[in-house]
Amino acid sequence: MDLRIRAGTEFTAVVVLTAAFICAVALVPSNLLRIILGLLFLLLCPGYSLTTALFPRKSDLRGSERLALTFGLSIALASLVGLLLNYTWGVRLWPSVAAITILVIAASAVALYRRGHLPQEERWILHVHVAVPAWRKGRPIDRLLYLLVALSLVTAAGLIAYRLAIPASEQRFTEFYILGPQGQMQEYPETLTVGEEASAALGIVCQEHSSTSYRVEIWVDKGQDTEEQCAVIGPIELYHDEEWEQEAVFAIEQPGEDRKVEFWLFRNNETQPCRTLHLWVDVTQ
């Protein structure tokens, strides 16, 4: 049996699968349905959209080659998105979903545009053979590609089963960062006069999987003879995955070179800081 799909119809399926996955992430807690939708979305949508955008003619690639390229590109694109997010907004759930969704939509639009400008007989049209191909009659390269795809699917299924059988423990942590006046990791205050007010943007991201109370203390030369406490900020109440950012203003009342301005972050009622940051400032009269 040969099921032939009209050109463009498969991208409707891509959009439906993408929407279903986003709804599952937003409305459904992590379970088997959400994992299955996520696996289908990540392994099929990015790679198929980009493969069709790059090779819209049916003569460009064989069906087995398209299948292998779909899986390969999907994995590569998901890894690339994760790498880029790691150096920008951080590898978190919604930024990852948004980035891959935008990539899928853009690649699908390009694929439809390029394929729509080809003669009907030259267009790649997805068709599915509901039959197992004869193993011995296929070309060696086709048999290798089918084997690699099968191994990929078995490996993915095994990882899902392992995850369901042995759930990973929730990693609890807090992100704490400091930015310059322009919201960048630069232009921190370096030279001040006695009593001059300086500012820096402090940020906290709660990944504690529960409501958490924070307090920030700003110290100068903590533990030294010239110790000064400049400010206390808080309490700051954050829920899981909630962010907080605020400008912290401080002034130093004693002169000196290389004075260490420390930002201590306390969690709940703990007496020791869970995170510390610092700046070096020269203070003149």
pLDDT tens digits, one per residue of 145-189:
667 766 766 676 556 545 544 444 557 889 999 887 766 777 788
Among the listed residues 277, 285, 203, 192, the one whose alpha carbon sits nearest the alpha carbon of residue 246: 203
Count of domains for the chain: 2
**Mean pLDDT, range 6-21, rounded to an integer:** 77
Could you say which of 165, 200, 228 is where a domain stops?
Answer: 165
**Same-domain check for residues 177 and 157:** no
Tokens of 252: 């130093």
Query: 3-state DSSP: the chain helix, strand, coil percent, rounded to 5?
Result: 40, 30, 30
**Same-domain check for residues 26 and 134:** yes
Q: Kindly report the pTM of this predicted structure.
A: 0.49
pLDDT digits (tens, 9 = 90+) for 16-29: 888 888 888 777 76
Residue 167 has a pLDDT of 46
**Worst-scoring range by mean pLDDT, 40-54, 73-87, 143-157, 193-207?**
143-157
Beta carbons of 242 and 210 less than 8 angstroms apart: no
**Same-domain check for residues 258 and 215:** yes
**Mean pLDDT, range 213-221, rounded to an integer:** 92
Residue 130 has a pLDDT of 47
**Same-domain check for residues 119 and 183:** no
Residue 176 has a pLDDT of 92
Question: Residue 237 is part of which domain span?
Answer: 173-284
**Same-domain check for residues 146 and 246:** no
**Same-domain check for residues 189 and 140:** no
Q: What SS3 class is residue 161?
A: helix
**Same-domain check for residues 212 and 152:** no
**Same-domain check for residues 236 and 189:** yes
Could you say which of 131, 165, 199 is where a domain stops?
Answer: 165
**Same-domain check for residues 24 and 51:** yes
**Same-domain check for residues 206 and 277:** yes
> What single-letter amino acid sits at 216?
V
Longest alpha-carbon distance in the chain: 88
Tokens of 144: 């290798």
**Same-domain check for residues 128 and 9:** yes
Could you say which of 116, 141, 165 is where a domain stops?
Answer: 165
143 falls in which pLDDT band (50, 70, 90)? Answer: low
**Same-domain check for residues 112 and 233:** no
| Strand blocks (E) in 108-226 | 127-129, 173-179, 191-193, 197-207, 212-220
Residue 157 has a pLDDT of 56
Chain-centroid distance of CA 147 in Å reads: 31
Q: Which residue would you say has higher pLDDT here, 103 or 39? A: 103
**Worst-scoring range by mean pLDDT, 136-140, 232-236, 266-270?**
136-140
CATH number of residue 187's parent domain: 2.60.40.10
